[in-house]
Structure 1
Amino acid sequence: MQDMADLEADKIVTLELDVSSDKSVASAMESIISKCGRIDILVNNVGIGSTGPLAELSLDAIKKAYEINTLGQLRMVQQVVPYMASQHGGSIVNIGSVVGKVPTLWAGSYCASKAAVHAMSNTLRVELRPFGINVVLVVPGAI
């Protein structure tokens, strides 16, 4: 929480957000719109790992990775799109991973969930272009 206090000291507004909760995401969006009147960019930089061989990981661990890494990003997109479409513009930046294209051992659920982010982003790019919404996929390596 100290990092958040440091941001606030730099006059950066922070708000609590749980990407696995429809209610939390909707509340955050309502707060942003009520304070700013619009939203121009979403940077979907969310991800959790689950280490272990994919054939042995619990389905609960795999579901959690998908819930956060993939559905969490989509949940955010679904909340911002109506506002961006009404503005006839905006940008959505989804953070994928190089392992979404070149999977690594012991990280199968993370790799698969990020591959789904890649496919989702490519689909959204085509679907949202007519509304003036740009969709960008960032594919970083090890960080």
Structure 2
Amino acid sequence: MLKNSEQFSNRFGDFKNMEDCFSLFATPTKYNVQSAPIHLQMELNEIQENSLLKSKFEDVELCDFYKKYIEEENFPQLRKFARRLVCAFGSTYKCLQFFSLIKVNKSTHRTRLTDDNLENSLRLCISGINPNIDGLVSQIRAQVSH
């Protein structure tokens, strides 16, 4: 059995390797352009020379800065870089959530659950759509039997 500190290091060790990426993402107005990947250097240089962007960076939330002020037309590479970095966290969370749901739904208490029903159940759980159970039940009750 691994100690908590070893488990933490195993799980989050990759973040240490991405430290430069996080730094670039968090401080594009101050990041050393020469240290950046070559495909981002020109766009970083433009940001650092633009006083309006630098002031907006100080005034708004980080993700809002990338959404509102780093336009696709002017900063395609930096925008792509930021999107990939931000999406990594959301997709990791969704994957972990999905596997937890599978574990719960395919437990020994639910062994008769078919693959089709499992797929539908999981799709409903991760979709973010809230079914209107009361409305569906009232529709069924309103149907006339022959």
- What's the TM-score once normalised by structure 2's chain length? 0.29
More strand by share: 1
Larger Cα Rg: Structure 1 or Structure 2? 2
- What's the TM-score once normalised by structure 1's chain length? 0.30
Bigger RCO of structures 1 and 2 (CA < 8 A, at least 6 apart): 1
More helix by share: 2
